[in-house]
DNA sequence: TTACAAAAAAATCTCGAGAATTTATCGGCT
DNA sequence: AGCCGATAAATTCTCGAGATTTTTTTGTAA
């Protein structure tokens, strides 16, 4: 059958076998959740989605189950599936855990990384920079390509970490942050700042300066929190507390 | 229908709705994987398992998908499901990540924990101690009850941590370690030592001595590694290196 | 004897329909 | 008017059979 998935270079989670309908549906739904087509908190009714994604209920349920393991969908027995809600609290929590995991992974990567690792890092940074220059276009395709290369850059950064678990965990958390990142990009898109941060990351990494690197990385991870808090996107529950 | 699951007090993952067949199958299979009924690396053929667990293929597939998110089962598209392999490397990796997560969660718990938290901790420790005294019996029921209370104890320890994600992550990792813990219990079961460690954990926690607590906890988490390495359980790949 | 290729068997993946449960609607009562 | 229970609709959960793919077996040739 071989559906055209147009996912030739996607180095994403749960890959290795993009040939099943489950996998295809999984990716498509995940993409639509990240893009906001399926809003946070929205109920994902199997009966409706099966027509949208042109698969049977069983297939769809399995795809949704995969999304549950990514924490992008929540399932409550006998009451169906729901898009994972977004909130300031969740973003805080996510950023906190990300910071913990990402920083530790980077430290390990710095210890074990050799020449090939540096090569991968520089290479992915270069490709990311190229995508950054095209961000002015503001089309969905361009943004998604940037997002993909951003993922690959951060993956390369920790790729010398000796712990497969930590690497996988980092990837999952990175994916969860994507929705928030996209939200924060709506407000103050300062690609220049982001580029500078990435540049600093590379520099400190190549200089093997772990403490400086972690410092920048922490700020980098927390950036969406600050942006979203400041712009008051997302209903801040205690926004009226200032009164 | 309401099958008798005999899981009355199980405070486990993916709970909240144990009323579906998927959930029931999920728990049963998980239990059998942890108990070693389904050996590491073993292929989980849906056609065979559907008779064993008396559910249809679709239901079984969904239950297996849930186990994939627990990292107890690995799925490779178009080639079915397999019990996650066990190895010294994996144990090292798991213990490393567990140590990272568990220690951070405990530190947070120590910061935020109040009187109710101390109450939960003392209470769960007491119940765990009671179960420890019965461990001489060496029956499966007694061991499983101990394992359950051990889980609850460690959960209570981090229960004041403000990060839901970190708490859930800890629980997942704890579950993954269960197979190795059971294996290490086969060799040198020194319940007295384990009890002492738990006692120290409680003492340092109540004394709010974070550094000491983390120190003990790290040793505690790494214990199975030492035991399994020493007894040479699991095929140590370079065991013949000593020759 | 070993290697290679085609056929057979087994297993997975996929589907649509039926049973059980939850949610919404409507009528009656205080 | 507002609340509560019964009926109806919608949705989820579950199943077994059929289509694809993978694995094993078998036969043939070098």
**Structural domains of chain A, with CATH:** 21-83 (1.10.10.10), 88-231 (1.20.120.530)
The pLDDT, as a whole number, for residue B187 is 75
Which has more confidence, A187 or B142? B142
A22 touches strand C (CB under 7 A): yes
Q: How far is CA A40 from the centre of its chain?
A: 16
CB-CB under 8 Å, B165 with A97 = yes
**Of A16 and B51, more confident:** B51
Report residue A3's pLDDT band, with 50, 70 and 90 as the boundaries: very low
Could you tell me if B183 and B152 are in contact, meaning their C-beta atoms sit under 8 angstroms apart? no
Q: Say what the pLDDT of residue B216 is.
A: 95
What gap in Å lies between CA B116 and CA B216, rounded to an integer?
23
- Strand pairing of B73-75 and B81-83? antiparallel
- For chain B, say whether A1 makes contact (Cβ under 8 Å): no
For residue B119, give how far its alpha carbon lies from the nearest alpha carbon of chain A (Å).
25
Check if residue A44 sits with its Cβ under 7 angstroms from strand D: yes
User: HEC states along B59-78?
Assistant: HHHHHHHHHHHCCCEEECCC
Separation in Å, CA of A174 to nearest CA in chain B = 14
Question: Which helix (H) or strand (E) covers residue A44, if one does?
Answer: strand A43-44
- Quickly give A19 CA vs D28 C1' distance in Å: 34
Query: How is residue A132 written in tokens?
Result: 């950054």
Tally C-beta pairs within 8 A across A and B: 80
Helix (H) or strand (E) holding A110: helix A88-112
Contact in structure between B132 and B194 (CB atoms under 8 Å) = yes
pLDDT higher than 70, residue A11: no
Instruction: Give the residue-averaged pLDDT of A117-121.
Output: 96
The residue with greater pLDDT, A190 or B154, is: B154
Q: Which of A14-28, A80-94, A123-137, B116-130 has the lowest mean pLDDT?
A: A14-28
What pLDDT score was predicted for residue B109? 96
Token code pair at residue A82: 């729901």
Give the single-character DSSP code of B86: -
Q: How far apart are CA A104 and CA B216, in angstroms?
A: 21
* Among chain A residues, CA nearest to B104: A100
More confident residue, B236 or A193: A193
Q: What is the pLDDT of residue B214?
A: 96
Nearest to B176 by CA among B56, B242, B87: B87
- Give pLDDT < 50 ranges for chain B: 1-17, 238-243
For residue A86, which of A74, A97, A77, A98 has the smallest C-alpha distance? A74
Number of neighbouring beta carbons within 10 Å of residue A197: 15
As a rounded value in angstroms, the CA-to-C1' distance for B46 and C1 is: 38
Contact B17 A65 (CB under 8 A): no
Q: Is 80 exceeded by the pLDDT of residue A8?
A: no
Which H/E stretch holds residue B203?
helix B191-206
Q: Give the model's pLDDT for residue A18.
A: 57
Which pLDDT belongs to residue B140?
A: 83
What separation in angstroms does the CA of A132 have from each of A50, A143, A175, A181, B145? 36, 9, 19, 15, 55
**Which has the higher per-residue pLDDT, A192 or B94?**
B94
Asked whether the predicted pLDDT for residue A160 surpasses 60, the reply is yes
Q: What share of chain A is helix, strand, coil (3-state, %, to 5)?
A: 70, 5, 30
- Which residues in range 54-93 of chain B are in contact with strand D, contact meaning CB within 7 A of any of its atoms? 54-59, 78-79
Burial class of residue B209 (count of CB atoms within 10 Å of its CB; 0-12, 13-18, 19+): middle
pLDDT at res. B14: 47
Through-space separation of residue A115 CA and nucleotide C14 C1' in angstroms = 46
């Amino acid at each position: 059958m071989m559906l055209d998935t147009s996912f030739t270079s996607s180095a994403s989670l749960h890959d290795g076998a993009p040939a099943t309908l489950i996998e295809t549906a999984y990716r498509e739904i995940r993409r639509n959740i990240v893009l906001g087509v399926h809003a946070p908190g929205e109920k994902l009714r199997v009966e409706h989605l099966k027509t949208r994604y042109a698969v049977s209920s069983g297939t769809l349920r399995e795809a949704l189950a995969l999304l549950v393991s990514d924490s992008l969908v929540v399932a409550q027995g006998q009451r169906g599936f729901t898009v994972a809600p977004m909130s300031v609290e969740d973003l805080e929590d996510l950023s906190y855990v990300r910071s913990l995991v990402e920083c530790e992974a980077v430290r390990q990567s710095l210890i074990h990384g050799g020449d090939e690792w540096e090569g991968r890092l520089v290479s992915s940074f270069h490709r990311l920079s190229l995508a950054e220059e095209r961000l002015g276009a503001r089309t969905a395709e361009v943004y998604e390509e940037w997002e993909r290369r951003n993922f690959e850059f951060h993956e390369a950064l920790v790729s010398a970490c000796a712990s497969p678990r930590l690497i996988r965990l980092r990837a999952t958390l990175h994916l969860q942050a994507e929705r928030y990142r996209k939200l924060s990009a709506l407000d103050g898109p300062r690609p220049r700042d982001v580029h500078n941060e990435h540049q600093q990351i590379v520099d400190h990494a190549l200089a093997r300066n772990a403490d400086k690197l972690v410092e920048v990385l922490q700020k980098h991870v927390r950036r969406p929190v600050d942006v979203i808090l400041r712009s008051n996107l997302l209903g801040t529950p205690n926004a009226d507390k200032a009164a």
